[in-house]
Amino acid sequence: MKVAIMGAGLSGLACAIRLEQMGVSPTVFEKRSCPGDRFANMEALISVFSRPIRDEIAFLADRYQIYLQPSSNISEFVIRSANEKAVLTGNLGFCNHRGRQEDAWENQLARQVKSKIHFHAEQSYEHLLKEFTHVVVATGDPSYTAAVHNFRTDFTATLKGATVEGEFSRYRVISWLDDRFAPKGYGYLLPFTEKLANIVIAFREGVNDDGLELKEKWALFFDRVCTDLGQDLQVTDQFEVNGYKVGQCRRARVGNTFFTGNCLDSVMPLFGFGQFPAILSGIYAAEDLCGGTPYIEATRAIHASYDNSMVIRKLYERLDTGQKDRLVKMLNGKMGEKLLTTRFDVLKIASRLLRWTGIQ
């Protein structure tokens, strides 16, 4: 058995580590110059979206001997709408580095891979099919999945972000639900350190809004962040992503090709979380290759989570400013904290209720 992995991102590297643990040495191909060769940013694991697992970092270490170090744990989550604010506390999740940073999760995983990683690789999917018995597609975007007519795009999104200097708590994250700058989307702040943070707006493309250009939305968002933090933040770096595809792979395995990470459907439509299912998809592909649970069966939970997230996303997009204010006000305090720390699968329960009541 000869296994090729296309992509040295989260799912591809997790797949390589798991294969090596079971005695298979894959060959990893990465078109860029190093793991995580992209803009530097912060991402978060909000643990309520991983239920019934309560601690993703511990789960990966204990179950699969895959070791990741977050930059910090999240003990405070601030949610702001246009006129309301909720402050939630508890063991809520983790922040971590991505992109061109030494401690980015791509680099942490790459240091655990023993097999050869070929950088600046130009081999096509079709070429690898001829040279290897199995191919794991982990390219970070669904282009190859779409090319074989195996991907359904549900919507595309725009993301604009920046690194800013200021004073921050490493253990506090902030989210903004405000249609003025993120129509039917959201903004967030995740801290790099006590002096640096990542701020981002993300929203669905093609939605009806007030016609503002992206630069105008960004200006409104930046002013809101500065006002809410009471600081004159300084931008040190920026990035912009347009046409980011969010959708679902129709079949997780086609012949001897496995689709993992974003090429599967690891990005949850509700708020874009997807790191943990991406890593799991790579692990599941490796285990199928070594005689474990069939990949299509193993990834059913990821598919179901995506579907549940989409149901709630559709409802969220129908909320107006007043309804978002009431939602945030309701989340403030004990009720919100119980929701974020419950052991139950919130996405599954909420989506079933919405389907049962006929709202979706």
The domain limits of the chain are 3-357
Tokens matching residue 10: 């989260």
What's the CA gap between 256 and 133, in Å, rounded? 7
CATH of region 3-357: 3.50.50.60
Residues of the chain with pLDDT under 70: 208-210, 357-360
DSSP 14: H
Q: What is the pLDDT of residues 165-213, one digit of tens each?
A: 999 999 999 999 999 999 999 999 999 999 999 999 999 998 766 678 9
> Which pLDDT score, from 0 to 100, does residue 355 have?
76
Q: 3-class DSSP state for residue 203?
A: strand
Closest C-alpha to 22, from 298, 287, 253, 297: 287
- Which residues, listed in sequence order, are joined to residue 244 by a DSSP beta bridge? 157
Residues 6+ apart with CB under 8 A from 230: none
Q: Are 231 and 168 in contact (CB under 8 A)?
A: no
Task: Write down how long the chain is.
Answer: 360
Residues 6+ apart with CB under 8 A from 102: none
Q: 3-class DSSP state for residue 116?
A: coil
> Which pLDDT score, from 0 to 100, does residue 359 have?
55
> Which pLDDT score, from 0 to 100, does residue 208 have?
64
What DSSP letter does each residue of 66-105 carry, written as one string?
-----SEEEEEEEEEESS-EEEEEEEEEEEEEESSSTT-H
DSSP-derived pairing of the beta strands 134-137 and 27-30: unpaired
Tokens matching residue 122: 């130009």
- Which residues, listed in sequence order, are joined to residue 163 by a DSSP beta bridge? 198, 237
Residues 6+ apart with CB under 8 A from 334: none
> Which pLDDT score, from 0 to 100, does residue 247 have?
93
Cα angle vertex 172, ends 171, 176, to 5°? 155
> Which pLDDT score, from 0 to 100, does residue 98 have?
94
- Residue 138 buriedness (CB in 10 A; 0-12 / 13-18 / 19+): buried
